[in-house]
Each structure stands twice: as C-alpha cells, then as structure tokens.
C-alpha cells in the first residue's frame, strides 16, 4: 500500500499513476491490433512468406477467441483491482483496504481464539508457574517466536546478546525484574575510553590487565597494579569498587569470567576503547502483559530448575 505521506512531491505520485494507466491502455490497443478478425473457416489464410523444409509454412491465423478473451479478462480484472485496492499512487481504493487494517483484523481473531489461554495464567506468580510444565511450554513457544533472533533457539546467547541459561544477570534474575526487562526493554551504555578521559594506549592496556586479573585470567601484574588505580578512579562508579557490577545500572560483573562481548585481552581493550551500546527492545505493547508473563516464566525456568 502506498502512503501519501511518503511522497515528497506530486511528481512521484504521477510517476506511478501515469505508467500504470498508459500500460493498461497500451495492452488494450495491442490486443485489438493483433487480435485481427474472428477465425473464418471459409476464408483462405495467407502465409507470412516464411517456409521451412520445403512445405512448412507460417500462416497468419488470428488468435483463438478463448485466448483473446483471457487477455481481456486479465485487463478488466486489473482495472477492477486498482479501483478497489491501493495501487495508483496515494489512492486508497474504494474498499479502503490497508495492511494495518488487515493485520489488526487478523490479530483480533487470533486474540479471541488464543488470548484466553494466556490470560488464565496471568494471575499466578511466576515462581509458581515455573512448576507447571504446560505454562513453561507455552512460554517456550513464545520465546522461539520472538526471542531466538538475538538470544538463540537454546537461549544460550551470542556475542553482544546475553545467555539466559546461566545465573549471571545484568539487571537481576528474579521474576519481577525479568518481566520488567521484557515489558519495558533495556538500554545499556558503556562510554568510550576517550569519554572517560583515557587518552593513551597505556591507560587502556593497564585497565584491561586489571580487568583480566579480576577473573583470574592471565595478565601482566605490573600493568594491572597501575590499572587498578585508574579503575577505582573512573570505572568503579558503574562496576563497583570490586568490579562485581551494579544490577540497578545494568553494569556487568567483571569477576565471574562470563563475558557479553568476549573476555580475551583484545575484546576487553575494544570494549574500553570504543565503548558498547546494548539495547533490548520493549515487548510489552507488542505482546501484551499476559504473553510476557508466560515468556518471563520460561526464561526464569532456565536458571531456576
């Protein structure tokens, strides 16, 4: 469907209308011109002057009438379609059909059919629903439909998208927080090194070595000692003085060796140098609270068997 607001000028609207109308009229003219007279068994048919294999000639026979009528039916159908439905610039058609209206009608039917299944679980706490296999199963299906693109079909996550199967949570793993994350979304921001006042490669390297030391990874002890001073001056505000993170801010724990963007030295340096932007879109308005309630139940069940 064409939305008139998408046209920056009348030129583009007529750019669609004129070729479409002219094309249909040209097809009519072409069929009339090539259609010729009705087939007449008594009339001698002339050849086109092309002969192969001594006696194989090309005759100038008119088109069969059934074939000709099919062309006309197709053209009249196209005219009727363009009159009833959008297709000519911003003209919405006599029926006023829109993709949004079609979607809303389908969703209304689906809600009448399936919403009672979701709403019957809405009043039960997630901590209790997790014990009901049928509720978890429904939540799993919702997860497969809406969440696998980012978190994977097994909820194991990929680089930049957290695993939901472990007990490491950026914002908290209790039922209320998980549901809030799905309903409202999350926006995580890690400032770049330049924004934090880290202007030299030595500063970046020293902090990276200290971060490696927090999870007992191989590191340069001398550089880590220097990095600790800078970390406790700049990074503690988000990650805490011990690097264990602050869930209220979504700042990750750096001591557990679970990494969202990778825990190698190069990955850590990249995170410090360039910063990170993480976004979890809000699903509350799209899915509705009843579905989110079951979806949160499934996610909670992954780390709470």
Tell me the C-alpha distance between 238 and 236, whole Å.
5
Per-residue pLDDT at 216: 93
In three state form, how does the secondary structure of 146-183 look?
Answer: HCHHHHCCCCCCECCECCCCCCCCCCCCCHHHHHHHHH
Per-residue pLDDT at 35: 72
Tokens at residue 107, please? 């969703």
The residues, ordered by sequence, that sit 6+ positions from 117 with a Cβ below 8 Å of its Cβ are 138
In the predicted structure, residue 2 carries a pLDDT above the cut 60: no
Tell me the C-alpha distance between 148 and 126, whole Å.
21
Whether 51 and 165 share a structural domain = no
Tokens at residue 83, please? 């009159």
Per-residue pLDDT at 198: 86
Q: Indicate whether 100 belongs to any domain.
A: no
> Mean pLDDT lowest for which of 34-43, 205-214, 252-261?
34-43
- The average confidence (pLDDT) of the chain is 90
Q: Indicate whether 94 belongs to any domain.
A: no
Residue 242's H or E segment, with its range, is none
- The count of residues in the chain is 305
Q: Indicate whether 291 belongs to any domain.
A: yes
Tell me the C-alpha distance between 259 and 163, whole Å.
10
CATH code, domain carrying 289: 1.10.760.10
Whether 22 and 49 share a structural domain = yes
pTM summary value: 0.72
For 230-256, write each residue's pLDDT tens digit.
999 999 999 999 999 999 999 999 999
| Cβ 242 vs Cβ 255: under 8 Å | yes
Whether 139 and 163 share a structural domain = yes
> Mean pLDDT lowest for which of 43-52, 81-90, 119-128, 269-278?
43-52
Whether 205 and 275 share a structural domain = yes
The residues, ordered by sequence, that sit 6+ positions from 109 with a Cβ below 8 Å of its Cβ are none
Whether 175 and 196 share a structural domain = no
Per-residue pLDDT at 59: 77
Q: Indicate whether 161 belongs to any domain.
A: yes
Tell me the C-alpha distance between 278 and 158, whole Å.
13
In the predicted structure, residue 159 carries a pLDDT above the cut 90: yes
CA 52 to the chain's CA centroid = 59
Whether 178 and 293 share a structural domain = yes
- Our count of domains for the chain comes to 3
Q: What is the mean pLDDT of residues 179-200?
A: 92
Whether 174 and 201 share a structural domain = no
| Cβ atoms within 10 Å, residue 194 | 11
For 3-32, write each residue's pLDDT tens digit.
555 556 788 888 889 999 999 999 999 988
Tokens at residue 151, please? 């978190």
The residues, ordered by sequence, that sit 6+ positions from 138 with a Cβ below 8 Å of its Cβ are 117, 118, 121, 294, 298
What range defines the domain where residue 50 resides? 4-84
Whether 206 and 264 share a structural domain = yes
For 91-101, write each residue's pLDDT tens digit.
889 998 998 89
CA 98 to the chain's CA centroid = 21
Give the confidence band of 1 by pLDDT, cuts at 50, 70, 90.
Answer: very low
In the predicted structure, residue 50 carries a pLDDT above the cut 90: no
Tokens at residue 260, please? 């969202």
Whether 10 and 52 share a structural domain = yes
Residue-wise over 41-65: b if at least 16 C-beta within 10 A, else e? eeeeeeeeeeeeeeeeeeeeebbee
């Amino acid at each position: 469907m064409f939305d008139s607001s998408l046209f920056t000028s009348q030129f583009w609207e007529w750019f669609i209308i004129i070729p479409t109308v002219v094309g249909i009229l040209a097809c009519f003219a072409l069929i009339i011109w090539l259609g010729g007279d009705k087939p007449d068994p008594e009339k001698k048919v002339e050849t086109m002057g092309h002969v192969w294999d001594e006696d194989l000639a090309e005759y100038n026979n008119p088109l069969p009438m059934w074939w000709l009528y099919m062309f006309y039916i197709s053209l009249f159908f196209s005219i009727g379609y363009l009159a009833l439905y959008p297709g000519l610039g911003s003209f919405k058609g006599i029926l006023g059909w829109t993709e949004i209206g079609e979607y809303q009608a389908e969703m209304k039917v689906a809600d009448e059919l399936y919403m009672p299944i979701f709403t019957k679980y809405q009043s039960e706490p997630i901590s209790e629903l997790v014990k009901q296999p049928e509720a978890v199963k429904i939540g799993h299906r919702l997860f497969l439909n809406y969440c696998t693109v980012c978190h994977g079909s097994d909820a194991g996550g990929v680089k930049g998208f957290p695993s939901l199967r472990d007990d490491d949570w950026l914002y908290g793993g209790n039922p209320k927080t998980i549901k809030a994350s799905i309903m409202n979304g999350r926006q995580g921001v890690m400032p770049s090194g330049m924004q934090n006042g880290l202007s030299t490669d030595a500063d970046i390297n020293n902090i990276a070595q200290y971060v490696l030391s927090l999870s007992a990874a191989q590191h340069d002890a001398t550089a880590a000692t220097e990095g600790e001073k800078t970390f406790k001056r700049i990074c503690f505000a988000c990650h805490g003085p011990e690097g264990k993170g602050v869930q209220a801010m979504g700042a990750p724990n750096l001591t557990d060796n679970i990494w969202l963007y990778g825990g190698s030295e190069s990955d850590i340096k990249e995170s410090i140098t360039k910063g990170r932007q993480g976004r979890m879109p809000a699903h509350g308005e799209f899915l509705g609270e009843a579905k989110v309630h079951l979806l949160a139940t499934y996610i909670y069940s992954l780390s709470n068997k």
